[in-house]
Chain A
Amino acid sequence: MAEEVKKPEEVKKPRKPLDPNSAKYKLGKIASDAFATAIEAKKQGKPVAWVSSNFPVEIPETLGLATAYPENQAAGIAARGAGERMCEVAEADGYSNDICAYARISLAYAKLKECPEQDVAMPDVLLCCNNICNCMIKWYENLSQELNIPMIMLDIPFNPDYEVSDAEVAYVTGQFWDAVHQLEDLFGLKWDDDRFKEVTGFSCRSSRAWLEATAQAKYTPSPFNGFDLLNHMAVMVTARGKKEAGEAMETLLKEYKENHEKGESTFRVEEKHRVMFEGIACWPYLRVTSRGLKDRGINMVTTIYADAFGFDYNSFDEMIRAYCSVPNAINLEKSRDKRVKLCKDNNVEGLLVHTNRSCKLWSGFMAEMSRQIGKECNIPVTSFDGDQADPRNFSEAQYDTRVQGLCEIMESNKEAKEA
């Protein structure tokens, strides 16, 4: 009898502890502290707000109101594998599976009040802004009804014009101060102009460093793997008005600049091709979608999704205009031009579009917009079906075929250019 060959035991390499001075450590800590701080505030009897991602963070931050971001929470829950479980809770209560999966997860959380994959402090008020989408309004209205708490609405409607009009600025400004006064009345908080000035300074500092960091992809090869941005942007969503966020973003920028100077990158394989990723990340399959690109040497160097959370301004009016100009609130032409600029600035060779079943607004106009971007930049475009948080809407084999097809066109284009 042949002697049994003993396989050497697999020894898992212990993860090297992160350097506390690194951007990854700092950003990770800020992101996790964001949830913990609100939970602690709640324990101390302080009010907590649930806030939509593009609501002016300057309001709760200036008032010292603790915050939690349901979109950020839902993304975390989905990335940790609990998206389907939570969606099913909402669906059992009658919410259609056509509704945004972030909304379904959030509504399920409002019912269960716990989810080990990402707990948050329960809210005392809801701060809703529809510049990201209109589904947000119904989602928050239902939360308000279910939890019996007030909802403060900041209406920033979709802008069909290219520029933000003075009338729109006046309309939003009026609501901005009304939201402040409502919060003062509800919780006895006090607005302080000096603190507001400080917060806007922090917010702009974070935004400038963030936007400059993402712009380092202008170098070939890029000093970073674009999927890093999807993790780091959590800080821009939840904490851009905090001093430590600005410091961490500046560290990130410094590291990317150093990477470029040293010829290094967090994209650990040879960068053969560069693409722009369009749409919200497919959180339940982040590893699969990342690997499908990385295995072929494709670096996702840019995405408007990351830049969407950088708000840079020099005056109150400019701040309002910035909140009126977030990607989902602007018309097709302006949306296209912003993306074309990203493609050209970052030497993009192909466009990969996530047709996100959750986000009808974003995915709905992508068919035409991606056609226009492809034409303007002379790059191939492909799209795949998926979802930002509901894992039932993605097929790995279909994703793989589309990415491979895109890769083969980019290779063929490169060969033709070299010939």
Chain B
Amino acid sequence: MITLGIDIGSTTSKCVLMSGGEQIIASSLRIGGLGTEGPAEALSDLWDRADIAPSDVSRTIVTGYGRNKYEGADGEVSELTCHALGGRFIFPDLRTLIDIGGQDAKIISLSEAGRMSNFVMNDKCAAGTGRFLDVMAGILRMDIDELDECAAQSVSPASISSTCTVFAESEVISQLANGVSRPDLVAGICESVASRVSALARRAGVVPRVCMSGGVAKNGAVRKALSESLGVDIDFDPMAQYFGAIGAALYAHRQLQKLSDNK
């Protein structure tokens, strides 16, 4: 049975095809989420990569902020459940998942059996999310993927407010003007995200094994700062940005199994 998971986020769209709820057979990611061509492009890219036709898919589940607007799926599930399922698929003993996406941050607690047992999400503020890093990279005229390497060269991370993206933006500009080095600023920005998210994580309770998902998971400086702040190892998998889509494909598979059991 082939299942398809689509994760339409605020800034990117991800698709994952799975076979038998066990094997990832293709994946795709495109910049552009809800309200853009991103979802269509990600799907088109997926079919180009996969050796199967859309008609081979038995069930499709959509998740992410765009889930309610997408009409081509058999059902929609929250990204909370999907990230929990996707994280547990990659790390079978996962208990705490920290997802930092484009516009929100969530801490998901899983029971020993792997069921999502609780979650905490950020409030409306964009501080502590991927959007915060996007804005900061823009001011520094850097690509978002360059932040990680740049932060590694920091000698003394700058102190950046974690309260508000807009205030932090003017703070970075002012520190740049005062001659603070780019690596120190970038390291400070990453620590600012980690500080905001670790406060959320403490509220939810952190139980190892811990991993990160979402686009920000790729940023080693944020992972390191979070790990130091929480005093736990934080695992990372190159598929971290796809956890939502993997979870959606797994959820689709579970539904098919249930339907077949009920026959």
Taking a contact as CB atoms under 8 Å apart, the answer to whether A409 and B117 are in contact is yes
**Chain B hits for A395, CB < 8 A:** 124
Taking a contact as CB atoms under 8 Å apart, the answer to whether B78 and A398 are in contact is no
Taking a contact as CB atoms under 8 Å apart, the answer to whether A416 and B115 are in contact is yes
Q: Interface 1/0s, chain A 378-408, versus B by CB < 8 A?
A: 0011100100000001010110111011001
Q: How far is the CA of A380 from the CA of B68 in the complex (A)?
A: 23
**Chain A hits for B81, CB < 8 A:** 405, 408, 412
Taking a contact as CB atoms under 8 Å apart, the answer to whether A382 and B203 are in contact is no
Would A401 and B78 be within 8 Å (CB), given that A381-B118, A408-B116, A409-B116 are in contact? yes
Which of A395, A400, A409 has the largest count of B CB atoms less than 10 A from its CB? A409
- Shortest A355–chain B CB gap in Å is 7
Interface size on B, residues (CB 8 A): 18
Chain A, Cβ-Cβ closest to B205: A371
Taking a contact as CB atoms under 8 Å apart, the answer to whether A405 and B80 are in contact is yes
Taking a contact as CB atoms under 8 Å apart, the answer to whether B117 and A380 are in contact is yes
- Shortest A141–chain B CB gap in Å is 31
Taking a contact as CB atoms under 8 Å apart, the answer to whether A398 and B124 are in contact is yes
Q: Which of B233-262 contact A (CB under 8 A)?
A: none
Taking a contact as CB atoms under 8 Å apart, the answer to whether B124 and A400 are in contact is no
- Shortest B76–chain A CB gap in Å is 9
Judge whether B22 is part of the interface by a CB distance below 8 angstroms: no
Partner of B80, one of A367, A371, A397, A401: A401
**Chain B hits for A382, CB < 8 A:** 119, 121
**Chain B hits for A371, CB < 8 A:** 203
Interface size on A, residues (CB 8 A): 22
Q: Report, nearest first, the 10 A-B pairs whose CB atoms are least far apart.
A: A405-B80, A404-B78, A408-B81, A405-B78, A385-B123, A412-B115, A380-B118, A385-B124, A409-B116, A405-B119
Would A401 and B118 be within 8 Å (CB), given that A385-B124, A408-B77 are in contact? no
Taking a contact as CB atoms under 8 Å apart, the answer to whether B123 and A401 are in contact is no
Judge whether B91 is part of the interface by a CB distance below 8 angstroms: no
Taking a contact as CB atoms under 8 Å apart, the answer to whether B119 and A355 are in contact is no
- Shortest B84–chain A CB gap in Å is 9
Q: How far is the CA of A408 from the CA of B123 in the complex (A)?
A: 20
- Shortest B211–chain A CB gap in Å is 19
Judge whether B113 is part of the interface by a CB distance below 8 angstroms: yes
Q: How far is the CA of A398 from the CA of B65 in the complex (A)?
A: 9
Judge whether A157 is part of the interface by a CB distance below 8 angstroms: no
- Shortest A297–chain B CB gap in Å is 16
Taking a contact as CB atoms under 8 Å apart, the answer to whether A374 and B124 are in contact is no
Taking a contact as CB atoms under 8 Å apart, the answer to whether B203 and A401 are in contact is no
Judge whether B191 is part of the interface by a CB distance below 8 angstroms: no
